[in-house]
Amino acid sequence: MQLVHSPDSINRAARFLVAGVAVLGAGLVAVNPTSPSLPNIQHRAVQLTAGEQDWSQVLTTAEDNLTTLESEAATANSDLSSAVGTELGGFGSQISAALTGAETGLENAFYGGWYGNDDGYVFGLFGGSVTDSATGVTETGSTLQEIGTALDQGNLFDAFSYFDTWSLEAADHTLRYLVEPFLSVTSHGVTTESLTAELLQTFTNVYEEFGTYTELKNLSDALLSPPLGVAFGLTGDLDTIAADLSSGNFDQAVTDIGNLPSDLTGDVLNGFVDPYSNGEPFAGLLASGGLLDELLVTLPTQLATALGESTAPAAADAVSSSLPDLLGGLVSF
Over residues 316-328, the pLDDT tens digits come to: 333 333 333 433 4
pLDDT band at 212 (very low <50, low <70, confident <90, very high): confident
What number is the average pLDDT over the span 60-85?
89
Q: What share of the chain in percent tops pLDDT 70?
A: 74
Note the pLDDT of residue 276: 63
CA dist., res. 302 & res. 305, Å (int): 5
Does position 42 have pLDDT exceeding 70, yes or no? no
| Confidence grade of residue 40 (pLDDT, cut at 50, 70, 90) | very low
Q: Indicate the pTM of the whole model.
A: 0.56
> Quick check: 10 pLDDT over 60?
no
Q: What mean pLDDT comes out for the span 21-30? A: 34
- CB-side exposure of 128: number of CA atoms within 13 Å? 21
More confident residue, 307 or 188: 307
Residue 159 pLDDT greater than 60, yes or no:
yes
Quick one: average pLDDT of 108-119? Answer: 88
Instruction: Grade residue 279 by pLDDT with cuts at 50, 70 and 90.
Output: low
pLDDT of 11 over the 80 cut: no
Is the pLDDT at 30 greater than 50, yes or no? no
Query: Is the pLDDT confidence value at 20 over 90?
Result: no
Q: Are 40 and 305 in contact (CB under 8 A)?
A: no
Q: What is d(CA 62, CA 85) in angstroms, rounded to the nearest whole number? A: 34
Q: pLDDT tens across 85-106, in order?
A: 888 877 788 788 888 888 999 9
Q: Helix 156-179 and helix 143-152: axis angle, to 10°?
A: 160
C-alpha 246: how far from its chain's center?
A: 55
Q: How confident is the model at residue 1 (pLDDT cuts 50, 70, 90)?
A: very low
Mean pLDDT estimate for the chain = 76
Q: How far apart are CA 67 and CA 60, in angstroms?
A: 11
Q: What are phi and psi of 8, to 5 degrees?
A: -95, 10
